[in-house]
Amino acid sequence: MALSISISLLLIFLSHFPSSHAEPFIGVNYGQVADNLPPPSETAKLLQSTSIQKVRLYGADPAIIKALAGTGVGIVIGAANGDVPSLATDPNAATQWINSNVLPFYPASKIILITVGNEILMSNDPNLVNQLLPAMQNVQKALEAVSLGGKIKVSTVHSMTVLGSSDPPSTGSFAAGYQTGLKGILQFLSDTGSPFAINPYPFFAYQSDPRPETLAFCLFQPNAGRVDSKTGIKYTNMFDAQVDAVHSALKSMGFEKVEIVVAETGWASRGDANEVGASVDNAKAYNGNLIAHLRSMVGTPLMPGKPVDTYLFALYDENLKPGPSSERAFGLFKTDLSMVYDVGLAKSSSSSQTPSGKVTSSGWCVPKKGATNEELQASLDWACGQGIDCGAIQPGGACFEPNNVASHAAYAMNMYFQKSPKQSTDCDFSKTATVTSQNPSYNSCVYPGGGGGAAGSKAVMNKYVSSDKVEKKNGAIDPKMIVLMSSDGQSFEVEEAVAVQSQTIAHMVEDDCAANGIPLANVTSKTLAKVIEYCKKHHVDEANPISEDELNKWDTEFLEIDQSTIFDLILAANYLNIKNLLDLTCQTIADMIKGKNPEEIRTLFNIKNDFTPEEEEEVRRENQWAFE
């Protein structure tokens, strides 16, 4: 097995069984334009009490870098715009910059990225723009000279104004005036495996279009969504639309494989009278829902299954920043280290994920009496777009009948609520939902929740179940079929109700993208056949129910296969977003390595150990839970 595949599997496996705070895709910006910031040592302690795994500095403050030593927190340091001319024209200046800002601290301080300049392309300074790429190249060479070229990446940061087109997302492209300069930068990023860093701000998008529907779209709240007229994909939030527009722009230049990093995004908690949308409630909604969206691992419509590394803006308010009041009001924490508002970042409150995936709460989230079908449909679409498992309300699912908006919305609302930190705002859905202590489960349709009460009390009939029946022809319904196409060109005709156990496929079906078959570029025919076999067995058939014991026995026999095939199934389940199959395969690997030391695991999986002792210790420190 190729080493690259082993690494991919390792990343999936580690992300599947994380500790309650192992969320490497969540970072924060640490700005210092203030005169009241706490000491760096206190900030380091604060960060360790949260699920924040990365920090972006705009400079290279040695006190902060040193304070973060040994914490495992990834650090992004920056070369200022004013440093660019000397870095571009004098390789010795780049060497000295690395000698001063990296070597005294690395690897104890986990420096992962150097950003050369901030939004330089938008500076309207042609000399500075022309010097940007040479500066990046000299910094890269200076890193390579001390054997850090593959360990610390080099990039630069752009604002969304670098795009000439962003709506619809599939037509995203860079503005003509920037394309010449960007081509060399993108080639550099591609050659070095460095990310394209961008600053998307739905906050500013709302200020330019302050309608209620735009606010809901920007805050990840229930809304009608916006359909990309070119692809038919429906977007339920502005963040995904902006990030996918950047992805399309990269693709249009031939660099779609360059990773995107969101270097800044946030929402102001206050502002001047003319700054619409700046409030604590909106800031809490945006940042909290964004974090939940990232944690869902659903990705974006054009980049499914992978959260984009995102740095929230900002750690603290910066009281000396010029401009409107909002510029001084993006902080998540006050300078006394208390929260401005709670978005679930504290380790004690962050959502944990266990191998069982079970969740509990003190009740169930259901629609309010009087909510209209239009409102509930918007809530249904939004909830299922946030990465929750809506397979039960797909055709053939345990909760598909009755096939009406109210019943499906009730299930989706509750699934979102159970997955969230379960604050009152998590069961709001634009004032159309409420928390109930009455279990809405019915027949074989089980609503998670209730704090254990569901197991101890008889489920009542779901009040959203009506007597209406789905119209049948000759007493039966012909199953709808779709075609799945493997990466090696084979086609499989499958019942839609079976295939939509994959959330990736379900979203494509919902977006009417299945008419001409669904290509699965990352799944071979051999693996796809196994996936379909699994989904057929796990498809809920009310006419021919299967006991849990029988299904567990079948699962055990299903995975009596070679190691390579199990690995292929893990990759496929992750790509197709089939949670139960991913749980099963990852648990199988977990059972295989239980009780084994690292050397035995390397032998078992034929993994080459090319880590230095320092790097191995770093991995152990960051994933301490895995070695306990």
Contact call for residues 525 and 486 (beta carbons, < 8 A): yes
Annotated catalytic residue 264: yes
Contact 479, 497 (CB under 8 A): yes
Distance CA 305, CA 308 (A): 10
Q: Could you tell me which residues are beta bridge partners of residue 481? A: 495
What is the Cα–Cα distance from 591 to 595, expressed in whole angstroms? 9
Of 119, 327, 495, 618, which one is the catalytic site residue? 119
Q: Which of 23, 259, 264, 401 is catalytic?
A: 264
As a three-state string, the secondary structure of 372-427 is: CHHHHHHHHHHHHCCCCCCHHHCCCCCCCCCCCHHHHHHHHHHHHHHHCCCCHHHH
Q: Which residues of 496-511 are buried (b: 16+ CB within 10 A; e: fewer)?
A: bbbbbbbbbbbbbbbe
DSSP assignment of 55-69 equals EEESS--HHHHHHTT
Rounded Cα gap, residues 517 and 498, in angstroms: 15
- Among 404, 362, 418, 409, which residue's Cα sits nearest to residue 383? 409
Length of the chain, in residues:
628
Identity of the residue numbered 280: V
Q: Which among 288, 289, 302 is positioned nearest to 235, based on CA atoms?
A: 302
CA distance 295 to 307: 8
Measured CA distances, 58 to 29, 132, 263 (Å): 8, 16, 11
Is position 119 annotated as part of the catalytic site? yes
CA dist 240 and 200 (Å) reads 10
CA–CA separation, 172 vs 217, rounded Å? Answer: 19
Closest CA to 561 of 582, 580, 588, 590: 588
Which residue's structure tokens are 């977003």? 577
E-strand ranges in 481-623 read 481-485, 491-495, 518-519
Q: How do strand 481-485 and strand 433-436 relate by DSSP bridges?
A: unpaired
DSSP 461: P
Tokens encoding 39: 């000491």
* Residue 491 per-residue DSSP state: E
Q: State the catalytic residues.
A: 119, 264
